[in-house]
Amino acid sequence: MTTRVVVLGAGFGGLELATEVSGRCGAGVQLTLIDQAEGFVFGFSKLDVMFGRRPPEQVLHRYASMVSPGVRFIKATVTSIDPETRHVETTAGAFDADILVVALGADVHPEATPGLAEGGNEFYTVPGAFRCRDVLDKFEGGRVVVAVTSLPFKCPPAPSETALLVHEFLTARGLRDRSEISLVMPLGTPIPPSPKASEAVLAAFAERGITWIPQRLVRSLDPERRVAVLGDGGELPYDLFLGVPMHSVPQVVADSGLAVDGWIPVDPHTLETKYPHVYAVGDVTSVGTPKAGAFAEGQGAVAAARIVAAVQQRAPEAEYDGHGVCYLEFGDDQVAKVGVTFRPGQPPVGDLEGPSAELAGDKTTFGADRIRRWFGREWTTA
């Protein structure tokens, strides 16, 4: 009998899971992967485009030319999910699953921060980050504010990386002397689970004259006065505002009843939801790890191993260990590697390697390996 596995979302978690399950089960499964986007874009590629390091056409990995054997890709928007019956409706028709995986990520909402759309910029969506490239291109120097507007948010190091890359960008253009850079973050340190990484980032801010404003959020912008209003009522004047918008599960997940207190609860070891044969992985969950690709991928791999065992009628053994490795951009071709582990009921622990130019090469290889494995082709940059 062929098992119907339906995977909703072809991001970090969905791509990893689909590749593993189809590769290991062969004809034993019929794997359908559904996503509404044209293609996959790494989170870190958004920063590469924004700062002019890569052109937009180089970072979009089109699903249409995916050659992963055994994966049937459907380009469609998921419009309803019934976790009880594992029945899914989409703009390309209905699908019934024996095993359903929800990997729909987190949506972001610039409209939730008053004044952001009119007076600032967000760099967390693909179009938003691509627009920032033009905004930065025209910027002639002044007060730059990089800020988070709510918790939780994807890739907690990304705002710190952005502040460091703004410094590199303005320096290269001869605009740094007439600019100020501030970073508003809701966290006490840049990378809380790794004190060493936080120390290195704070030292880099101090060396580069970047103002670190911890434990604050920007609640709104006043576009006329060009000020960002902080959660405590304080004000921060800006000429260029780069914001991280509010996050939520996609509306279709909210409507499905799968989410509790905003996100989908799962067993932190198995990634199973409370509904039989329904898994959730990545940013859409409240599994207890940060919302980042490295964790979504690890969760996708564990859920995949358990699905493979179920298809092959073996007892599942794989368990999620809460470990992930993120790359951290310092600018000037210096990249660090931060390994962190989040185990239920224990404080998270993290280390730091670098920063160095070698690790910048390591990060490039990390991306190229994923594209080869998930899409069956090379990440050509020519």
Ligand X SMILES: Cc1cc2nc3c(=O)[nH]c(=O)nc-3n(C[C@H](O)[C@H](O)[C@H](O)COP(=O)(O)OP(=O)(O)OC[C@H]3O[C@@H](n4cnc5c(N)ncnc54)[C@H](O)[C@@H]3O)c2cc1C
Query: Interface residues with ligand X (CB under 6 A)?
Result: 9-14, 34-37, 43-44, 46-47, 77-78, 103-105, 123-124, 154-155, 158, 250, 252, 282-284, 291-294, 296, 326-327
- Least separation in angstroms between residue 166's CB and ligand X is 13
The C-alpha atoms of residue 379 and residue 371 are separated, in whole angstroms, by: 6
- Least separation in angstroms between residue 178's CB and ligand X is 26
- Least separation in angstroms between residue 314's CB and ligand X is 26
Residue with smaller CB distance to ligand X, 179 or 256: 256
Locus of tokens 């924004």 = 50
The C-alpha atoms of residue 45 and residue 365 are separated, in whole angstroms, by: 14
Cβ count within 10 A of residue 62: 12
Residue with smaller CB distance to ligand X, 178 or 372: 372
- Least separation in angstroms between residue 296's CB and ligand X is 3
- Least separation in angstroms between residue 253's CB and ligand X is 8
Residue with smaller CB distance to ligand X, 46 or 133: 46
| 109 close to 248: Cβ distance less than 8 angstroms | yes
Residue with smaller CB distance to ligand X, 119 or 245: 245
| 104 close to 12: Cβ distance less than 8 angstroms | no
Residue with smaller CB distance to ligand X, 162 or 229: 162
Radius of gyration of the chain (CA): 21
Nearest to 243 by CA among 104, 144, 173: 144
- Least separation in angstroms between residue 1's CB and ligand X is 28
The closest residue (CB) to ligand X is 11
Residue 239 DSSP one-character state: S
Q: How many residues does the chain have?
A: 382
| 117 close to 110: Cβ distance less than 8 angstroms | yes
Residue with smaller CB distance to ligand X, 226 or 320: 320
